[in-house]
A and B are shown apart, each in its own frame.
Chain A
């Protein structure tokens, strides 16, 4: 049987245990401090990444602004060119009268003789059309040009003022005259054919119907 006696005083044991604990805590705290420091340093790179992204965004916005200016300039130039093209296109006119008169000459009933076909010049100088005349030296501002332009139909073709056409002639009887009116009404380009005068009068060796028709013709310019 043996007996052990701890000769080391209790105070010394506690001091050693405390020193061990202190060392452990010191190690832990230092380790944690180093870890926090390194994480903090790493977070600095996150900040610089944010700065870089912000700079890239600023550059992209500046590029966008420049591009918008460029696009606005190009769109303005295109609008000016389209106006110019429209002006050039409007120079070209429809040529309906040769065809219209040829059709009339071909389809006129045999018992009818036309003595006069007149496009009324007064109708051409109607107030609406004379308003559009201006001296050569006065260019119109764009807004005024838009409002004073001739009326455009849905297909984009500009409609000029209607022209009054007067047709006079002699028919052998009223049936032939009615046939002429029907022919005109069916023909393209002749509208509102109205009989303004029809009376019997001597013609050659007999009686004939002298008549006058008034029609309306509307020309469209491309």
Chain B
């Protein structure tokens, strides 16, 4: 068989595999999206119609989440809205990310240039990730209950900061490592003090790295489930927790359920698409670079 037919076969095979796979992969997301836009009659499939494609689209489900009203209110004792968890997620993720970024970037620079913390510091941080969160949560819980930090903003922010530190350091260190040390030395020869080298010379160079790390850690904070589950209960629970909490409350209200899911998932999806290029670096702690 010659090269030309070989190429054609490969092309056919490729699309034959990719298209079904993509459909299967995207189906759950698609379904959740469309269900969140469906009116109540269409929420569940009937024997004759799997209702994969909605016939009517409405934003009622979303509105419902923000202010329960009308017919649906009589279906469920649903008194809570989505304002609180949404705001909480935003506030907590945002602040923790910023804080972790500040502390972590400084530390990462020190590790990158001066091997601060020892040769194995990066490896030690990896070990941190190895422990099941539940094992870490217990002592934190003990500490927090003593400090009366449970269900507080500062408690959660500190928690998220600490937990994501390894990621920040790994990511930022890999970005710093990408910049040759010659630049540091050139700057110092030009008369800069070490702090100036860091703040005025190197930091601007890693700006894209900082942006990527910010988005990545934001996703990590936003996705946290166990932490918020244990450490919050009434005032500061986040969107993922809301999902779990409202499971029972919603009962069979698939529409609003789907809408909640969409709200919880969309920000991270969008961010994820944006930082696609850096995902490999992030997930492998900078060990593998593309």
A is bound by B: no
